[in-house]
Amino acid sequence: MSKKIFSGVQPTGNLHLGNYIGAIKNFVDLQNNKDNSCIFCVVDLHAITVIQDPIELKNNIRETAAAFIASGIDPKNSIIFNQSLVPAHSEGSWILGCVARMGWLNRMTQFKEKAGKDKEKASVGLYIYPVLMASDILLYDATHVPVGDDQKQHLELCRDIAQKFNNEYKCKDFLTPPEPLIQKHFSRIMSLKNGTKKMSKSDIAEGSRINLTDTEDEIVKKIKKAKTDNDTLPGNEEGLKGRPEAENLIGIYSSLSNQNVADTLNEFGGKNFSDLKNKLSEIIVTKLSPISKEIKKLLSDKNYIDQILEDGAAKAEGISSKKVKKIKEIVGF
């Protein structure tokens, strides 16, 4: 079945190995299936739900787009653009926000986590963030949305909004409730310093993550210093239980070498962490160095990146402005 894919990544800096394995690598695989049509959006409107430095934001928008392209998303096959260039996203968001219910948004765990204890001080944007996300998806009639498992609840909300809109306005099947595409394996890459914590751009420990822009030396050093335990590596998956650091390093190796965990454990069972770390550094360098070099090359020509985003935005606009026009007619404007 041909799939209409839409996904978004926030341009908030420090793209890392977790983003690559958990999201971008997956986008590339989806694009490479000729049956799919794909749209990948740099969601800058979502980024400002937390105040950003304007200069950094601009750089991060370009860097995220560069990371997409350097990883293998081809602007000739997929639409790549940043959200703020296409007004339909904001327009759609307002109308869909009038369909979404407070009770639904009040259940969103990401808001509760990000707002923290002092909810009164969180931005209104952070609260209605999932409505904008629904607008992103529904304006393109996306059928499948690749996301991390933390976004599952937002996709359920998107489905609820689509169904309520269709019911309230008696336009059966007009908005398409999308299916989430959540990776079964390697969907949570953990910190190199603590195997029970997700690898994250906001971790203050630089050694906890491999950035997509790290040099070979930095990669080798970080892997060398990655936390381990005192045992040799197990020969089967049962043996990974209660050993989060071993599980994480084995997972990263498996994902990058496109093999399953059982095969990796066959290779390293009974060996020391140092054996795994040598091979792991090698494969990370092999996979990420070309990406990192390409990101730097792309960023040295800002006009080129900006042109790709503008061309992508023109294509996105062509699709989404038509959908918003119909939405406006349906609601009575």
Rounded to a whole number of angstroms, the minimum distance from the CB of residue 70 to ligand AMP is 16
Pick one of 3, 5, 6, 9: the residue that binds ligand AMP (CB under 6 A): 9
145 binds ligand TRP (CB under 6 A): yes
Task: Choose, by CB under 6 A, the member of 67, 138, 142, 147 that binds ligand AMP.
Answer: 147
- Minimal CB distance residue for ligand TRP: 8
Burial 151-184 (b: 16+ CB within 10 A, else e): bebbbbbbbbbbebbbeeeeeeebbbbbebbbbe
- Catalytic positions are 114, 198, 201
Return the number of the residue (187 or 228) whose C-beta is nearest ligand AMP. Answer: 187
Distance of CA 64 to the CA centre of its chain: 10
Q: Which does 235 bind (CB under 5 to 8 A by kind): ligand AMP, ligand TRP, none?
A: none
DSSP notation for 45-111: HHHTTS---HHHHHHHHHHHHHHHHHHT--TTTEEEEEGGG-THHHHHHHHHHTTS-HHHHHT-HHH
Q: Smaller CB distance to ligand AMP: residue 150 or 218?
A: 150
Query: Could you say which of ligand AMP, ligand TRP, none residue 137 binds, taking C-beta under 5 to 8 angstroms by partner kind?
Result: ligand TRP
Q: HSE on the CB side for 40, CA within 13 Å?
A: 31
- Could you give the CA distance from residue 207 to residue 198 in angstroms, rounded to a whole number? 13
**Residue 22 sits in the site that holds ligand AMP (CB under 6 A):** yes
140 touches ligand TRP by CB under 6 A: no
Interface residues toward ligand TRP, by CB under 6 A: 6-8, 10, 43, 46, 133, 136-137, 145, 147, 151, 154
